[in-house]
Chain A
Amino acid sequence: MTRPLKILARVIAYGLFITFIVGFSNWPTYQHLAPDQATVKLSFQVAGELKQPCRQRSAEEIAEMAPNMRLLDDCPRERLPVDVVLKLDNQVLIDERLPPSGLKKDGVSVIYRHLSVPAGDHEVALRIRNSAHNQGHDIEKSIAITLKPAQVLVIELDNKDGTIVFQ
């Protein structure tokens, strides 16, 4: 290979290298969400009620305990799971039972889900039950909303006053 030919070949090689790196570093673009879709994010953490109520220990039970451990009330730490139902236009999107966190199952129940939904007018309803009642929900709220394309609707729980927040 002659020297001018070598130089030309090197220029071509570097040109290909530049094109390859710049090309795949920028293109093609990726369509993550269709243009007519919006996103609903459901996320909260809430503590279920204690699985068993506190009870008073008997005098015999207290006598059997070490002196420094003698507490009048016996309060089991385990909490109940939390049931959550999210509906969009009366269609169930999420229906889950969230277990309490922690090795002793005494922590809060946590959820994070994101869903793609068509943009437009919707009725969104969230129901949460964190107690042992067999019927109905402890917290529930529904709203009518118009979702713009790509809008993010965040559904959270305000733990201070226990209300559901749509934002």
Chain B
Amino acid sequence: MINLLQTLIRGPFDVVERVFSAVFSPNANPFLFLGTLSFYFFWIVAISGIYLYIFFETSISGAYDSIEYLTHTQWYLGGIMRSMHRYASDAMAVTVTLHLLREFSLDRYRGARWFSWITGAPLLWLLFASAIGGYWLVWDVLAQYIAVTTSEWLDWLPIFNSPMARNFLNEASVDDRLFSLLVFLHIGIPLALLAGMWIHIQRVSHSKTIPPRGLALGSLGAFLAMAIAKPALSQAPANLDVTVTNVGLDWFYLNIYPLFDLWSVEGVWLLLIAITIILMLLPWLPPLKKQPTAVVDPNFCNGCQRCYVDCPFGAITMKPHDFRPGHQQAVVNADQCTSCGICAGACPSSTPFRRVDELVSGIDLPQLTVQTMRSNTDDAIAALSESPRIVVFNCQHGAELSTLKSSSVALISLPCIGMLPPSFVDYVLRRERVDGVLITGCPPEKCYHRLGSVWTEQRVEGTREPHLRTKAAKARLRIRWAMPHEAENVKREVRHYQLELARDLSSSDTEQGSTSRD
């Protein structure tokens, strides 16, 4: 059921992301920066909100008039700020919703990642509460409609001695103090939202909260265009002696309100509570099978901090070494470890060239140690009987490639491609044991373990430790990222690569033959 739902959601995302990557490039594809854009839009809303607050009057008559002044008299700045405040909030609702759906469809919310998911659910309530409070402040007919409906909605909770809706019976019921309270809430709730957003990314290292410059300027320009093309305007002033009949709604935030005319208040509460509970329980529906987590061997840990820096989930910390004074040692927090093995791929001691009987790394996955990786690789290469011989290192979350194994193709599967120490590429190519290497895994923007593909690219390019050791290895290495449903693309790539290698081999044989004849 969950798998089906994920597949149904992932399909449209894949299509849209491919199109946007072609148009914007993957480095500025908005669909790959949904969480980042949410942070960015929050800051636009906050800065424009601070400006609006300077001119806002906290009284019944002053509230509407001060916003009218900003909108019409000071349209060139106040009006623009008001529109950007509104449209950036709307865009944030969109990016937050898409971010939630995308992470769900990529199955990046279970296991050790429960924390980010769970802390995200209350943020939805805070985001909507912030926005609804903002509409209230304008004190036009929309504010009146929201005020009356929201108070009737909240009155269902057994926390008020006197119904809150009695404050909005008619014009005589409202007083200026209400606006002071509303302003306080409209500042306090967004601050709580910001604090929640900070908590939300606490277990995500290298999180991006600033979008690429092109995307930042592009979206800012889009909000400016919206502000000029369709400025945010107030509706008629609120008048509690007359019921609101027809009202313009912001459907991004107020979509729940028409339900109150169709359902009972209890029904709406039930719906919202049910959605919240299901969201909170999702990481355990079903729970992710816990794999053994990374283990540090102090004998081989030199405290280099590479694993600490590379871990995508902040599961590694450093402490004073157990028995080497003045040195540090990595420590794994098992609750945060996703068993991706990226730490083992980063460890300088994870090199297959080490001449020891038992190859032990400073940090290793018990279920697939570097020693096992090396022996699996040796066995797979030994079984190759036809040229050109290729070793394919693949990520278990990328394309399904088990049928690729043949007499000329060896397949080594890893929990994440970031677990592959680059020295393994040098290792399999030495003494021409194989003719080529292909690395494949989930695309960097969709990497199941967030940064495995990114780190691998950087290690191969030589911009991140550990590097490839030889230039020859770089020349004989191909990288082809692919999603689970793109196995055929990888297989095609392998076939093409083998044909190219076969051509190279035959031409070098010919050259050697002519050299020996000379």
Contact = CB atoms under 8 A, between A and B. Distances in A.
Interface in B241-291: 241-252, 257-258, 261
Contacts of A24: 90, 250-252
Interface stretch (B17-25, B51-59, B205-213, B492-500): B17-25
A110 interface: yes
A26 B94 CA distance: 15
Given A24-B252, A152-B240, A110 B163 contact: yes
Contacts of A29: 246-249
Contacts of A10: 23-24, 218
A10 B61 CA distance: 44
Contacts of B155: 112
A167 B170 contact: yes
A39 B248 CA distance: 20
B3 interface: no
B90 A25 contact: yes
Interface stretch (A13-21, A72-80, A122-130): A13-21
A32 interface: yes
Contact of B241 (A18, A26, A152): A152
B370 to A, nearest CB: 42
Interface in A104-142: 107, 110, 112, 114
Given A14-B222, A154-B170, A31 B163 contact: no
A1 B261 contact: no
Interface centre among B165, B169, B230, B240 (most CB of A within 10 A): B169
A20 B241 CA distance: 35
Contact of A112 (B166, B249, B251): B166
A6 interface: yes
A33 interface: yes
Contact of B230 (A22, A34, A152): A22
A110 B155 CA distance: 12
A43 B165 contact: yes
Nearest to A167: B170
The range of chain A's interface size is: 35 or more
Interface centre among A1, A26, A29 (most CB of B within 10 A): A26
B256 to A, nearest CB: 12
A41 interface: yes
Interface centre among A21, A35, A152 (most CB of B within 10 A): A21
Given A17-B222, A156-B169, A1 B162 contact: no
A150 interface: yes
B457 interface: no
Contacts of B450: none
B91 A21 contact: yes
Contacts of A34: 245
B87 A25 contact: yes
B368 interface: no
B152 interface: yes
A18 B245 contact: no
B218 A152 contact: no
B374 interface: no
Contact of B163 (A14, A25, A38, A43): A43
B23 A18 contact: no
A156 B122 CA distance: 38
A43 B166 contact: yes
Interface centre among B94, B166, B225, B261 (most CB of A within 10 A): B166
Contacts of B23: 1, 6, 9-10, 13
B243 A25 contact: no
Contacts of A152: 169-170, 240-243
A60 B24 CA distance: 92
Interface centre among B23, B90, B91 (most CB of A within 10 A): B23
A82 B165 CA distance: 20
Contacts of B219: 17
B229 A150 contact: no
B243 A33 contact: yes
Interface string A23-62: 0111101111111011101010100000000000000000
A25 B245 contact: no
A39 B243 contact: yes
Interface of A: 1, 6, 9-10, 13-14, 17-18, 20-22, 24-27, 29-35, 37-39, 41, 43, 45, 101, 107, 110, 112, 114, 149-152, 154, 156, 167
Q: Which 6 A-B pairs have the closest CB atoms?
A: A112-B163, A9-B23, A39-B243, A24-B251, A33-B245, A22-B230
21 contacts: A1-B22, A10-B23, A21-B91, A25-B87, A25-B232, A26-B230, A27-B248, A29-B249, A30-B258, A38-B243, A41-B170, A43-B163, A43-B165, A45-B162, A110-B163, A112-B166, A114-B152, A150-B242, A150-B243, A152-B241, A156-B169
